[in-house]
Amino acid sequence: MSAKAFDAIIIGAGQAGTPLAGRLTAAGMSVALIERKLVGGTCVNTGCIPTKTMVASAYAAHLARRAADYGVTLSGPVGVDYKAIKARKDKVSGASRTGLETWIAGMEKCTLYRGHARFVSANTVRVGDDLLTAPKIFLNTGGRASVPDLPGIDDVPYLTNSSMMDLDVLPSHLIVVGGSYISLEFAQMFRRFGSEVTVIEKAPRLTGREDEDVSAAIQSILENEGIAVHVGADDIAFARKGNGIAVTFSAGKPPAVGSHVLLALGRVPNTDDLGLDKAGVQVDQRGYVVVDDQLRTSVPGIWAMGDCNGKGAFTHTSYNDYEIVAANLLDNDPRRVSDRIEAYALYIDPPLGRCGMTEAAVKKSGRRALVGQRPMTRVGRAVEKGETQGFMRILADADTGEILGCSILGPGGDEAIHSVLDLMYAKAPISTLARAMHIHPNVSELLPTIAQELKPLT
């Protein structure tokens, strides 16, 4: 069989692959875009878009239950129609996917192949009965939920972040195993929908990459809504119990018995069934494709973008990977992964916005630093909204004034964080923030005030 020749092959129509196809075809290249499942990848189909659509529904239910706090009366108890919530989620997610498919269809010189791609050699890929070849190949194969070999796990039905999107009944009791970002968003969401929720985490605290006081505040927010949280859980095991599922943990503690179990124990890259060995592409011990600072793999002419390269597990890092690759290939702009500043959000309510270093990381670095902090109880906008849980903190270098990091756990924290993040990219000192005039009333307006009140970090 003769191979069909293209200028470029992109494996995976996710948040890096699809826009790269757009740039390459606009530059006159012929592109084969391969997708084995759903166009849009995790973000569009089982990640950001559908889950944040459901988070919005959960917030509406939560706010309705608090109506009396704002002097608003309702004629009866607040109800939740989970099938309607799912239908809304499916509509929003589906519209996004359809939009991408329409965009791809309109790209001149782009051919979309549906199927699983596997390397035959360093420049040849097979998709079903089709053999494709190109001098440039880009991996954007994403990741999936990790399912550890825990005792009894094969004997019980369980959900992952993906299969949760297909759930069409509201769990009476959802047990969430894992205490990080995905798990906590689902935990709060389903509690607000009306489920009983239990979170079981083996680590000593939730969201272990955050500062300890941030983790403690997050746990308090969840517990204030009636979510049972168990940290430091060991010997986690599963078994059927009647029509439910029993999760045992930590000798001496009673098991949690629920109607549904969600496993949220990390992610693994989709690299184990691509035939990377036949191309000579190097992967690390966890299966991530090894790349350099400009996302080139160990094989010339092959790049890896998004979750499969281990350089970030977010839609924004995947899209930034595309920008880096396109800049180097098409714009003579030597952008690098190391240019970017770590930034992300946890979408519980109130959300956590994070950028740069944590306080613990700054202390570990040994540098002299300054810190400023303010609870949301002293932020006018938060008080006015009746949402005063959380706090904000800024860290700066004591000698240079460089902004080192920021955490904003509170209303609008996922948006307000960009006030600091953009200054960090501009390499502006903390004094620039301190002298800024922000709009009142706003959560962000307290950032300059905090920047004026910095004290030595001890």
- End-to-end Cα distance, the chain: 68
Decide if 245 contacts 157 (C-beta within 8 A): yes
CA 377 to chain centre: 28
User: With 0-12 CB in 10 A as exposed, 13-18 as middle and 19+ as buried, what is 409?
Assistant: buried
Contacts of 65 (CB under 8 A, 6+ apart): 78
Give the whole-angstrom CA distance, residue 457 versus residue 382.
Answer: 26
Sequence letter at residue 395: L
CA angle (409, 195, 407) in 5-degree steps: 10
User: With 0-12 CB in 10 A as exposed, 13-18 as middle and 19+ as buried, what is 226?
Assistant: exposed
Give the whole-angstrom CA distance, residue 405 versus residue 309.
Answer: 25
Both tokens assigned to 450? 């905090």
Sequence letter at residue 377: T
Say which of 116, 173, 230, 440 is annotated catalytic.
440
CA angle (240, 186, 17) in 5-degree steps: 110
Contacts of 253 (CB under 8 A, 6+ apart): 230, 233
**418 annotated active-site:** no
* Residue 447: C-alpha distances to residues 116, 293, 354, 368, 437 (Å): 49, 33, 14, 21, 10
The strand pairing partners of 35, in sequence order, are: 114
- DSSP string for residues in 315-352: HHHHHHHHHHHHHHHHS-----GGGSPPEEEE-SSS-E
Helix (H) / strand (E) element for 125: namely strand 124-127
Decide if 434 contacts 452 (C-beta within 8 A): yes
Closest CA to 166 of 307, 79, 262, 58: 262
Q: Which residues does the annotation mark as catalytic?
A: 440
